[in-house]
Structure 1
Amino acid sequence: MSIGILTLIVIALAAGGFLLGRQIAVGKVAGDIRKLHSLPGYYGQTVFLFTAVPALLLMLGWLLVQPLLIHERVGAMIAPEDIASGSSASLVMSDVRRIADGLALIEAQGAAIPADAGTVREALGRVGVALGTDVKPSVYAAAKAYGAMSATGGKAMSVAVLVLALAGFGFAIARIRPAFRARNVSETFVRALLIGASSVAILTTLGIVLSLVFETVHFFKVYPFADFFFSLTWNPKFGGGSDLGIWPLIWGTLYISLIALLVAVPVGIFSAIYLAEYASKKVRAVVKPLLEVLAGIPTIVYGLFALITVGPALRDWFAQPLGLGSSSSSVMTAGVVMGIMLIPFVSSLSDDIVNAVPQSLRDGSYGIGATQSETIRQVILPAALPGIVGAVLLAASRAIGETMIVVMGAGAAAKMSLNPFDAMTTVTVKIVSQLTGDTEFNSPETLVAFALGLTLFVFTLGLNILALFIVRKYREQYE
Structure 2
Amino acid sequence: MPVFWIVLIVLALGAAGYVVGRRGAVRSAGGDTRVLHSLPGYHGTNVFIYTAVPALLVLACWLLLQPMVIQSTIGGRIPDSAIPENSTRGLVMSDVRRMVGAIDAAVATGRLAEGRLASTVDVETLRTSLDEAGVPMAGAARPEVLETARAYRNLAGTGNMLMAVVVLGLAAGGLAFSIRRVGRDFRARNAVERGILALLILASTIAILTTAGIVASLVFETMEFFRMYPWQDFLFGLTWSPQFRGNSQLGMLPLLWGTLYVSFIALLVAVPVGLFAAIYMSEYASRRFRSVAKPLIEILAGIPTIVYGLFALVTVGPLLRDYFARPMGLGESSSSVMTAGLVMGIMLIPFVSSLSDDIINAVPQSLRDGSLGLGATKSETIRQVIVPAALPGIIGAILLAASRAIGETMIVVLGAGAAARLDLNPFEAMTTITVKIVGQLTGDTDFGSPETLVAFALGLTLFVITLALNILALYIVRKYREQYE
Query: TM-score higher than 0.5 here?
Result: yes
Q: Secondary structure at the match of 2:116?
A: coil
Correspondence for 2:405: 399
Correspondence for 2:117: 113
Report runs of 4+ in structure 1 exceeding 6 Å deviation: none
Judge which range, 372-381 or 435-444, deviates more: 435-444
Correspondence for 2:191: 185
Judge which range, 267-276 or 298-307, deviates more: 298-307
Structure 2 unmatched ranges of 5 or more? none
Correspondence for 1:89: 89
Report if the CA contact (8 A) 1:98-1:129 is conserved: no
Q: Does 1:232 align with 2:221?
A: no
Change (3 A) 1:170 1:189: same
Correspondence for 1:203: 209
Q: Distance in 2 between matches of 1:102 and 1:422?
A: 43
Deviation at 1:102, TM superposition (A): 5.2
Q: Distance in 1 between matches of 2:15 and 2:66?
A: 28
Correspondence for 2:469: 463
Report if the CA contact (8 A) 1:252-1:414 is conserved: yes
Correspondence for 2:417: 411
Q: Distance in 1 between matches of 2:338 and 2:142?
A: 53
Judge which range, 102-111 or 50-59, deviates more: 102-111
Q: CA RMSD in A?
A: 1.8
Change (3 A) 1:97 1:357: same
Report if the CA contact (8 A) 1:33-1:40 is conserved: yes
Report if the CA contact (8 A) 2:131-2:139 is conserved: no
Q: How does 1:276-295 map to 2 (within 5 A)?
A: 276-295=282-301
Report if the CA contact (8 A) 1:116-1:137 is conserved: no
Q: How does 1:55-204 map to 2 (within 5 A)?
A: 55-101=55-101, 105=106, 109-113=113-117, 115-131=121-137, 134-204=140-210
Deviation at 1:103, TM superposition (A): 5.3
Correspondence for 2:453: 447
Q: TM-score, normalised by structure 2?
A: 0.94
Deviation at 1:132, TM superposition (A): 7.2
Identity percentage of aligned residues: 64
Deviation at 1:212, TM superposition (A): 1.8
Find 2:428's aligned residue among 418, 422, 441: 422
Q: How does 1:261-280 map to 2 (within 5 A)?
A: 261-280=267-286
Deviations 1:233-255 (A, max 9, x none): 11111211110000000001101
Deviations 1:229-275 (A, max 9, x none): 11111111121111000000000110111111111111111111111
Correspondence for 2:19: 19
Q: Does 1:335 align with 2:321?
A: no
Q: Distance in 1 between matches of 2:101 and 2:372?
A: 74
Q: How does 1:300-319 map to 2 (within 5 A)?
A: 300-319=306-325
Q: Secondary structure at the match of 1:425?
A: coil
Structure 1 unmatched ranges of 5 or more? none
Change (3 A) 1:110 1:150: closer
Correspondence for 1:351: 357
Deviations 1:284-318 (A, max 9, x none): 12222221122122212222222222222222222
Deviation at 1:143, TM superposition (A): 2.6
Judge which range, 437-446 or 287-296, deviates more: 437-446
Q: Secondary structure at the match of 1:350?
A: helix
* Count, aligned residues: 479
Q: Secondary structure at the match of 1:232?
A: coil
Judge which range, 343-352 or 205-214, deviates more: 205-214
Report if the CA contact (8 A) 2:128-2:139 is conserved: no
Report if the CA contact (8 A) 1:315-1:326 is conserved: yes
Report if the CA contact (8 A) 1:261-1:339 is conserved: yes
Judge which range, 289-298 or 175-184, deviates more: 289-298
Q: TM-score, normalised by structure 1?
A: 0.95
